[in-house]
């Protein structure tokens, strides 16, 4: 009996050793990403603070795309998971969020990036850790001019925002003078410099170019300077609250150029018209996208978003929605979920999205940059309409503009 017990105990010990070796080998051969039930991607957006309206429209678009991607089979049978982090509109918070997602959450790539300063901070962390980062909104030119091989950008650089506007100015407005107002951030300063170069090239005299700190409430001292300069054109690069205040206070001061034109950002969100009221009417803005453009699924995305969230979307949401599909496409094609293989697959991207075709190229000082046209929109009857170029317009532009009639 004792002999049998002894043999049984020896058998159990041998089995325990075999199982220990087996599970140890399994642990050594599996990567964390393979062991997880989901494939995790980190998305960093401003979900609170002054830029939260942009973060909300992008987060909603990311989540809508995620539902569709997983319903269609996910990533080669595995579910895709987005881990959202709030950068609060601050570069140091964005940097910490990126470090957490990479080192603690073990994401396979990063996405998001709204404000240019925050996006630049995330990019530095991603490059330092050799983890792919797909930017979908941060537009300061320098983001893709650092020779960072792990940073890719889906959206247009801020220097390219006015390209769709140039022919409109030449053929329609024909301004002799311009004033440029801009938030003194990386995005605003870069956009102002670019538009100054546009004006120089077109022979438009810039009579005033002045930055301001974000979050201000009284722009009248700055706008008095604009009124005194009496430019044909006022070009503004602002986020949504500043954009609305600039226009309401311009209306109060009766500043009446030939045209007010926004440099995208705050001038295309539904909140701009809501906050500015009649002061938003007839304001033009550069834009990167519009739902009636002949991109596959563009109108379907717009209608689905409106139905799901009971509010309109615009180019920021389209950027996020497209980025989700680019990331899914990348992860499906990657040889493995190791960072170098994901980067290689991202670099080889060549697909059509609701935001337009996505293919990363190098030009000028930029690398891993997608290149797309830009357009011009105008607020008319409380609705944002695509007005230029004519061949893709959803509604004819209104010009010249009788500001007294618009504002009465």
Question: Which pLDDT score, from 0 to 100, does residue 34 have?
Answer: 44
The pLDDT of residue 273: 95
Whether residues 261 and 282 share a domain: the answer is yes
* pTM listed for this prediction: 0.86
Q: How far apart are the first and last CA of the chain?
A: 106
Is residue 276 domain-shared with residue 352, that is, in the same domain?
no
Whether residue 131 sits in one domain with residue 55 = yes
User: Which positions ≥6 away from 102 have C-beta within 8 Å?
Assistant: 42, 110, 125, 126, 129, 131
Give the pLDDT of residue 216: 81
Same-domain pairing of 24 and 41: no
pLDDT at 61: 98
- Do residues 244 and 379 both lie within one domain? yes
Give 97-135 pLDDT, tens digit per residue: 999 999 999 999 999 999 999 999 999 999 999 999 999
206 and 248 inside one domain: yes
182 and 39 belong to one structural domain: no
Predicted pLDDT at 35: 46
Looking at the fold, whether 273 and 388 belong to one and the same domain comes out as yes
pLDDT at residue number 30: 43
Which pLDDT belongs to residue 217? 87
In this structure, the answer to whether residues 236 and 385 fall within a common structural domain is yes
CATH number for position 177:
3.40.50.2300
Residues 278-314: tens digit of each pLDDT: 999 999 999 999 999 999 999 999 999 999 999 999 9
Report pLDDT for 186. Answer: 85
**pLDDT value at position 18?**
47
In this structure, the answer to whether residues 9 and 111 fall within a common structural domain is no
The pLDDT assigned to 13 comes to 63
20 lies in the same domain as 131: no
* Residue 265: predicted pLDDT: 81
Query: Which residue stretches of the chain have pLDDT < 70?
Result: 1-36
Domain count, the chain: 3
Name the residue range of residue 7's domain. 2-30
**What pLDDT is stored for residue 26 in this prediction?**
45
| Together in a domain, 169 and 146 | no
């Amino acid at each position: 009996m004792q002999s049998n017990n002894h043999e049984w105990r020896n058998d159990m010990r041998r089995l325990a050793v075999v199982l220990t070796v087996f599970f140890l080998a399994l642990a050594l051969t599996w990567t964390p990403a393979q062991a997880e039930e989901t494939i995790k991607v980190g998305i960093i957006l401003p979900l609170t603070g002054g830029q939260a309206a942009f973060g909300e429209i992008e987060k909603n678009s990311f989540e809508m795309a995620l539902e569709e991607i997983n319903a269609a089979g996910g990533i080669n049978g595995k579910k895709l998971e987005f881990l959202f982090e709030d950068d609060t509109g601050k570069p140091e918070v964005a940097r910490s969020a990126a470090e957490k997602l990479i080192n603690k959450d073990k994401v396979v790539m990063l996405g998001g990036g709204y404000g240019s300063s925050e996006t630049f901070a995330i990019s530095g962390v991603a490059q330092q850790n050799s983890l792919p980062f797909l930017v979908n909104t941060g537009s300061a030119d320098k983001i893709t001019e650092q020779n960072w091989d792990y940073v890719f950008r889906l959206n247009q650089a801020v220097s390219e925002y006015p390209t769709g506007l140039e022919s409109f100015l030449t053929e329609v407005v024909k301004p002799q003078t311009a004033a440029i107002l801009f938030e003194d951030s990386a995005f605003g300063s870069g956009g102002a410099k670019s538009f100054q170069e546009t004006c120089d090239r077109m022979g438009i005299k810039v009579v005033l170019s002045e930055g301001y700190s974000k979050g201000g409430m009284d722009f009248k001292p700055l706008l008095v300077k604009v009124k005194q300069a009496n430019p044909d054109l006022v070009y503004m690069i602002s986020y949504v609250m500043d954009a609305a205040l600039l226009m309401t206070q311009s209306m109060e001061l009766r500043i009446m150029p030939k045209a007010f034109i926004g440099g995208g950002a705050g001038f295309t969100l539904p909140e701009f018209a809501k906050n500015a009221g009649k002061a938003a009417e007839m304001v033009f803005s550069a834009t990167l996208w519009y739902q009636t453009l002949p991109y596959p699924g563009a109108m379907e995305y717009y209608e689905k978003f409106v139905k799901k969230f009971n509010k309109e979307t615009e180019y920021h949401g389209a950027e996020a929605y497209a980025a989700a599909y680019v990331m899914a496409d990348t992860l499906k094609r990657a040889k493995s979920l190791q960072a170098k293989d994901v980067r290689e697959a991202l670099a080889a991207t060549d697909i059509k999205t609701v935001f337009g075709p996505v293919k990363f190229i190098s030009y000028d000082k930029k690398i891993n940059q997608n290149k797309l046209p830009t357009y011009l929109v105008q607020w008319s009857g409380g609705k944002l309409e695509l007005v230029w170029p004519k061949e893709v317009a959803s509604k004819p532009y209104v010009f010249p503009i009788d500001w007294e009639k618009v504002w009465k």
